[in-house]
A and B are shown apart, each in its own frame.
Chain A
Amino acid sequence: AQTVTQSQPEMSVQEAETVTLSCTYDTSESNYYLFWYKQPPSRQMILVIRQEAYKQQNATENRFSVNFQKAAKSFSLKISDSQLGDTAMYFCAFMKLGPNAGKSTFGDGTTLTVKP
């Protein structure tokens, strides 16, 4: 079974600064996907970024980028130029491929507050 650990329950950052959210996972799978989802106070979960395990290049989506260290099983999210709208709960998720693919394992989440 897979486990996903987010060791930072809460974090805060000043507007326009950079913040990094950590995520580690444990799996015996070699091929899988990792995701970061954002859940703002409105409660809808939104995909932030996706990383394919077989790709060494770190995924980037505008101000959001990841530091994927496969050997260390680490998948951190960096938010640059933080904006007030980034305030949300962030979940790291693991999804394996093959049989029973599609079911994701989520971390406990990190509540991020962006301060003006």
Chain B
Amino acid sequence: GAVVSQHPSWVICKSGTSVKIECRSLDFQATTMFWYRQFPKQSLMLMATSNEGSKATYEQGVEKDKFLINHASLTLSTLTVTSAHPEDSSFYICSARVFGGIGQPQHFGDGTRLSIL
């Protein structure tokens, strides 16, 4: 149980393109999802917390207009990288917590490797 599906797994696109990444909780409801960015051999850097039905909470230093987050349902959150540039190339990971229950761990998607040419 507690499967998080993230798509696409790999994206290569030209500079200036907008890219949308989907994060779905397949067998549970997730009122909160998290979006991370990870560079090779480094830790996860939290970008934003996505809350169903409300605006996302962004971490300091993360551009809200660059990284648009939408959490329209209890099972789907999307991250759109707008007008992507080479410096946005990275590994993006989403995670979700099972709704309710104390101390529930995060369940992670497989990640999306974004390469901007």
Interfacial chain B residues near A42, Cβ < 8 Å: 110
Give the residue of A33, A103, A108 whose beta carbon is less than 8 angstroms from that of B43. A108
**Bound complex: CA A115 to CA B79 (Å):** 38
Chain B residues numbered 37-79 whose CB sits less than 8 Å from any CB in chain A: 41-44, 46, 49
Which of B15-23, B80-88, B101-109 sits within the interface? B101-109
Tell me the count of chain A residues lying within 8 A, CB to CB, of chain B. Answer: 25
Flag if B43 contacts A109 (CB, 8 Å).
Answer: yes
Interfacial chain A residues near B95, Cβ < 8 Å: 45
Give the residue of B41, B43, B103 whose beta carbon is less than 8 angstroms from that of A50. B103
CB distance from A1 to the nearest CB of B (A): 11
Interfacial chain A residues near B97, Cβ < 8 Å: 102
Tally inter-chain residue pairs, CB-CB below 8 A: 53
**Bound complex: CA A93 to CA B106 (Å):** 10
Give the residue of B41, B103, B107 whose beta carbon is less than 8 angstroms from that of A95. B103
Flag if B91 contacts A43 (CB, 8 Å).
Answer: yes
10 closest cross-chain pairs (CB), A and B: A45-B108, A33-B103, A108-B43, A44-B110, A43-B111, A47-B105, A106-B43, A102-B97, A106-B44, A109-B43
With A47-B107, A103-B46 given, name 15 new contacts (CB 8 A). Answer: A33-B103, A35-B105, A44-B111, A45-B44, A50-B103, A50-B105, A91-B43, A95-B105, A102-B32, A102-B49, A106-B43, A106-B44, A108-B42, A108-B43, A111-B41
Binding site for A on B (CB under 8 A): 32, 34, 41-44, 46, 49, 91, 93, 95, 97, 102-111
